[in-house]
Structure 1
Amino acid sequence: MAPSPSEPGDTSWVDRRDDSARSWADEAVRRVVADANRSADTHLHVFPLPPEWGIDLYLKDESVHPTGSLKHRLARSLFLYGLANGWIREGTTIVEASSGSTAVSEAYFAQLVGLDFVTVIPRRTSPEKIALIERYGGKCHFVDTPPAMYAEAERLAAETGGHYMDQFTYAERATDWRGNNNIAESIFEQLSLERHPCPDWIVVGAGTGGTSATIGRYLRYRRLSTRLAVVDPENSAFFPGWVTGAADYSTGMPSQIEGIGRPRMEPSFVPSVIDLMMPVPDAASIAAMRHLHDVTGLSAGGSTGTNLWGAWQLIARMLREGRGGSVVTLICDGGERYQHSYYNDAWVAERGLDPAPYRAAVDRFLAEEVWAPPRTP
């Protein structure tokens, strides 16, 4: 609707009001917020550690969201951010660059508010995730290499007159890090009746960097003693970029652990809120993920294994220092998405990965209190 004077004959004020557009946006926001209101908070599981250690390990199970992953929170925040900013309107095509789970969740919310959704996605993305994107009405546009995703998503958004969600830029600002039921606030509310309600560490991976930014900022805002550790898989730019302080660090190589690790330092990654970063071998991530399933029956993806490996390292440090306490990490998504890959011995072997020595190290640690992982090449 073209701008019009606010009063007849008055050209000093311009009224940009569009009642029909505002009405559509109001309804879209209501639907997105109602989805959150229908969903109970995610579970906080206790991982079995030897009781004599005096240490508790908690797993916040983000796989129980309606779209099955931690990215459900991000997609909800990105949609609300885009709607509140007036970037998403009736008829807008939503475009994203995603390695999988964010696209699944954004396709869900696009369908919820009646918009078309297209994601630019690497060809190697798991077929299970592709099927989920399409189940929610999304379309997949494939590229051969992850670095090509960004420019192609921008091109598609311009071509369709759509909105590029750009999770890698907006993840750290779309979520209210001070509270409003973000993941950090939820963790501390759920821990309030535990014997160690203020954990020594929270351990997360970084895909966009949004989760670590939210948790790290919340810890400082609430003046909590908990420290934030970020784990990073092979080929990712986050760990070397954090160590060197190079904001433009790039490896140009894809991560084999879907959902975390990036070939470049992303705009949403906030190094200054992180207390510790730990590189994790891909084979260790797979060993930890499979150990979780064998011990607890919980089925999770490779990024959860990365988280667990980091948590066990920190628990080993606490034991050496003679300290009790608690550690919290995340179940990022469910293992049903990775039956063809991380749970498939042939697939793992084809990629030159050998989880067996790492699995043996975990078993020994939990049985004998000896942390002696294999040396990485």
Structure 2
Amino acid sequence: MNSHTSRDRSWAEDAIRRIEAEAARSADTHLFQIPVPTGWAVKVYLKDESTHRTGSLKHRLARSLFLFGLVNGWIREDTTVVEASSGSTAVSEAYFAQLLGVPFIAVMTRTTSAEKIALIQQYGGSCHFVDDPSEVYAAAEDLARSTGGHYMDQFTYAERATDWRGNNNIAESIFSQLSLEEHPVPEWIVVGAGTGGTSATLGRYIRYHRYPTRLAVVDPERSAFFPAWQTPDVPAVGGPSRIEGIGRPRPEPSFIPAVIDHMIQVPDAASVAAARHLRSVAGLHAGPSTGTNLWGVWQLAAEMEAQGKAGSIVSLMCDPGDRYAASYGDDDWLASRGLDPAPAEAVLQELFATGKWPAP
């Protein structure tokens, strides 16, 4: 074995130890029971992924992607790590890059929230901006090539970097935390799709362990994921998502439609409304992608109630609302983008007053 290879192997082993040590220092995220309309037999739970060190669900993904890159020999001591990201994945990857002492560059659109850009820079990362969301892939590949670095490519590797059988993944955590609840095996798990990695992990885990739980994926307007699931034999094309972190203009390689039982297309204004509603009923301040999740949760829960079914539904709180104070939290910003959450907020208020999903 030459000295260069030996040195690389030694560094990678220490890097893996540091990432594993970081995980060992971290407690699991909370699973909160959320208030429901009076008299409901359905229980709703929200797993708060915002409590990770980097503040989002993507902390799990970033850890898995770095470990995947290390064991494959793609990330070495002098490797510049490059990622195409709408924000939260880049924040988390910047954190792990700083932990290992390697450079990190995030490729993103100029519309990414200022709060997320500041967090990437806080963890020592650099930002490279493009105008069109469809440009992020090629720009990231070019940067990795020109720096001699590694393009992490979350959109391809998210579904394979996480062990779907268990090994402390998010699915195993959900079922463990529900074990003492009235309905320990949920009727539904509801998640959004950014890469498709989380839905792939959950769907595979449910099937591997032979649970009767069904997986529902919620998707913003214009995203390509919903039509890709609805008509899998027809090439799907979408547009830029207005809900940061989820929805894509193309079906990503990590999106596995066959493990998804149901999809719900959610109006963008409804995503904002549901996030606001969560704060008013539960005191949890979440970002808009959590609102997308909840809009789907409330529809499915109301349907279960109407059918007289008891059970539980679980979803995710993806990241905190304070990351979007200057965007989704600002009424003028919303108005400038044609987003009016008031009608959807009225729907949720009626749901909680009557216990029934309002007729269209």
On whether the aligned pair clears a TM of 0.5, the verdict is yes
What is the rounded CA distance, in whole Å, between the counterparts of 1:372 and 1:183 in structure 2? 33
CA positional deviation for 1:49: 1.1
> Amino acid of the residue matched to residue 340 of structure 2?
D
Q: Say which SS state the counterpart of residue 322 (structure 2) adopts.
A: helix
1:26 equivalent in alignment to 2:26: no
- Structure 2 counterparts to residues 234-253 of structure 1, below 5 A: 234-246=221-233, 248-251=235-238, 253=239
RMSD over aligned Cα atoms: 1.2
- Structure 2 counterparts to residues 190-339 of structure 1, below 5 A: 190-246=177-233, 248-251=235-238, 253-339=239-325
1:352 equivalent in alignment to 2:338: yes
1:88 equivalent in alignment to 2:72: no
Q: Say which SS state the counterpart of residue 39 (structure 2) adopts.
A: helix
- Give the TM-score, by structure 2 length: 0.98
CA positional deviation for 1:248: 4.0
> Amino acid of the residue matched to residue 267 of structure 1?
P
CA contact (8 A) 1:247 1:265 kept: no
CA positional deviation for 1:17: 7.9
What is the rounded CA distance, in whole Å, between the counterparts of 1:322 and 1:305 in structure 2? 25
Aligned residues: 360
What is the rounded CA distance, in whole Å, between the counterparts of 1:300 and 1:283 in structure 2? 15
What is the rounded CA distance, in whole Å, between the counterparts of 1:136 and 1:96 in structure 2? 15
Q: Say which SS state the counterpart of residue 358 (structure 2) adopts.
A: coil
What is the rounded CA distance, in whole Å, between the counterparts of 2:38 and 2:71 in structure 1? 48
What is the rounded CA distance, in whole Å, between the counterparts of 2:12 and 2:152 in structure 1? 16
CA positional deviation for 1:51: 5.0
4+ residue runs of structure 1 moved beyond 6 angstroms? none
What is the rounded CA distance, in whole Å, between the counterparts of 2:314 and 2:155 in structure 1? 24
Residues 298-352 of structure 1, C-alpha deviations (whole Å, 9 max, x = no match): 1110000000000000001101111010000000000010001111111111111
- Structure 2 counterparts to residues 54-65 of structure 1, below 5 A: 54-65=41-52
CA contact (8 A) 2:83 2:107 kept: yes
CA positional deviation for 1:127: 0.1
What is the rounded CA distance, in whole Å, between the counterparts of 2:175 and 2:108 in structure 1? 35
> Amino acid of the residue matched to residue 349 of structure 2?
D
Residue ranges of structure 2 left out of the alignment (5+ in a row): none
Identical aligned residues as a percent: 67
What is the rounded CA distance, in whole Å, between the counterparts of 1:38 and 1:329 in structure 2? 25
> Amino acid of the residue matched to residue 12 of structure 2?
A
- Structure 2 counterparts to residues 41-56 of structure 1, below 5 A: 41-56=28-43
Q: Say which SS state the counterpart of residue 23 (structure 2) adopts.
A: helix
Higher relative contact order (CA 8 A, sep 6+): 2
What is the rounded CA distance, in whole Å, between the counterparts of 1:18 and 1:209 in structure 2? 35
- State which structure, 1 or 2, has the greater radius of gyration over its C-alpha atoms: 1
What is the rounded CA distance, in whole Å, between the counterparts of 2:97 and 2:8 in structure 1? 17
What is the rounded CA distance, in whole Å, between the counterparts of 1:126 and 1:247 in structure 2? 33
